[in-house]
Structure 1
Amino acid sequence: MNINLISVFLVLVIAIPLVKGFFMIFSSEDLKEDIVSFESSVTFIISLIAALFFIKKIFLEHNYGIYKTIYEKLLTYDIFNSQYNMYAVYLAIMPLLIFIIFEVISFIFFLINSIAVFPTLKLLERGLAKRSKLTKRIISLVFSIPKSAAYLIFFTVALNIIIMFNVSKPFNKYIAKSQIYNSVCKKVVVPVANSQLAKQIPNILDNSFKIEKRQIPNGTGKEKFTGKTIVYYNGITIGQGVKSNKEIDRFTKELLAGTVNDYDKAKKIYEWIGQNIKYDNVKAKKILNNDFDEKSGAIPTFESRKGICLDYSCLYVAMSRSAHLKVRLITGEGFNGVNWVNHAWNQVYVNNEWINLDSTFYNGGYYFDTPRFLLDHRYSSIAGEW
């Protein structure tokens, strides 16, 4: 049996504070130090996640409300001009935000400790004075549980950042194989990072989007192949995948009735697909096992109202072509909140430029013409253009 060292490490992160707590006989002074240490860890985690959230909202999404106002104000300063590298701005501002948030939360904890926590500990210690050492050890262990959880979340966030910034592709894949890492990411890190959206990006499985090149037989019987190849995406050609029909064409015209601007047309198609097509986890697992029995492409996706990333992208192409928009199908890798995975999305040509959009990720945030593509999409390649 293969043992994942990342999982072992995270188990130790959980276990060490608990073991240490059990072997320490309860003491209010020792517990004060542990509480302050725990609060510092929690404060840093909250500060880190909050900083990531605000930077994403201000610099990458800024589509509405106060985030838009702050972004437009910052652009009046040269250092925040859009010509600067997004990662550089991201990394330069984050420490300042972390520091400010950390100090504010630390002050709040200081007030709570002084008024309620430390006096309560004194009373608890007096009440346990005549109790057995085992009882005191168990109480100490219980008080160590929050610290253990905080350390687990902290190191999971750190591993998540390592994967996101692509420090090492082999190491990224090894981290993502850890069941503990995956579980904490999906249940804590991703929902918290998405804040009030409370909508997770689909659980896109790595290798559930497969590209295969097959050689073409020459048909003469003298040589086996012509030397030319056909590229198949999840068992279909790109032409088969983006093929439309009268129903899709009719529906698209009805959807866009009264919409004159190409930008608004492209946006309305994106929103309709994102809101009405459900991610098909069963199909994703079948593709992962090279089972292509379920048809892929625009037509089956439109009819069933479900599919995986290639299907979303094919349907967007079909509907865009019905609306006479120039469109591309793009393949590459997307960051699903846990790991980089094989992925497909689109580009549409409006206002004299190609803009990115990802209808598969619709429920994880707004992915139409937004700078956030720089953070969670990479290795883009044009599979087709119409």
Structure 2
Amino acid sequence: MSAWKESVLDGNGITILLLLIVAFSLLQGWNRGASRSAGKLVFFLGDAVLRLVGLAISIPFTLWLSPKAGEWLSSVSSLPNRGLRVWEQMYYTVIKSLADFPLLRFAVLFMLSYALIVFMLRLLVSLIMGEGQGLIRSGKDRSSSLPSRLTGAGIGVIMGAARAIIVIALLFIYVSLNPDQSFSRYVEASPVYQQGAQAVIEPLSGKLVREKLPVFTQSVQEELNGIIQRKYEVIDHKIPAGIEQTAAHVVQGAETDEEKARKLYDWVGTRISYDYDKVTLYEEQRIWKEQTPQDTYDTRLGVCIDYARLYAMMARSQDLQVRVVTGRGYNGQGGYGPHAWNEVYLAEEKRWVPLDPTWAQSGNWFNPPRFNETHIKEQVF
């Protein structure tokens, strides 16, 4: 208790928040009295049990359903050979993402099945209990006698402690995922949080949260990056005849994937000029001139993302696997700025290699040594 008092006097917001939750619940219990507080506690515990049952049913159900849904989504995710409207681009991006990424598909199906199962369980309980459920939830006794209020306050403390534990669990997950952040250290400075985490959360979760959750979160982040990749695959899926014909002409005589990829790199890097006016318009007026690979091909102007998207389209037209990568590029002045480039898969070598057509006129940026020292990858499309 002395540690709690010192933490409150030091103004630790986490300690104050957790104690206020308990204090608020205590006051609620005092005002409700014994009967109504008991009804609230029964409903609180009953709802918790119902949710646990919902989890126990929805998890195995989703594990069974997810692969079947993935097969069906793959069968309906083929893109039509025509330009897509905006709503169609969004639709196919979602469908292809759900088909290709199992964690995302599992999460969506789990949330839907869990919500439906919990709803059905509540409906079933309501039908079985009838009017009785309402009595449990609200109660009829509004007694203001001292014993009733004291009992209600005690029940309120129990409910407040349960609510505080839920908050501690959420904070515990955050701290486990971000152990080096200043807010995490601030949370851990709270003795109320520390005691709740050590006494309740860690024994219940074991090593699951601290060791497994960061790995799972990294996998989720990789899938989220892949979802954005599907966006450009959908938007740029239809390859105009002129671009395809030019790409076929450029790669004539090339026998390997590397030769094809390098010839296309040389063509894009030397034929497209950097659009400084587009950059100035954005920097001074915050107006972004969105353009398609066809626009870049026609005008022979673009910025890094336009170079990368045109290169990707030309490479795909010649059966190369290619990505658009966004991140930060070295600006030549000791810093880094927003940038985009490509990665292409060389089947003969069975590896992805980086290339930067935007910088092609300044030197060899087709898989040069130490490429990663000047390019910091953030997302892959």
Structure number, greater radius of gyration = 2
TM-score (ref. length: structure 1): 0.37
TM-score (ref. length: structure 2): 0.37
Choose between structure 1 and 2: higher helix proportion.
2
Choose between structure 1 and 2: higher strand proportion.
1
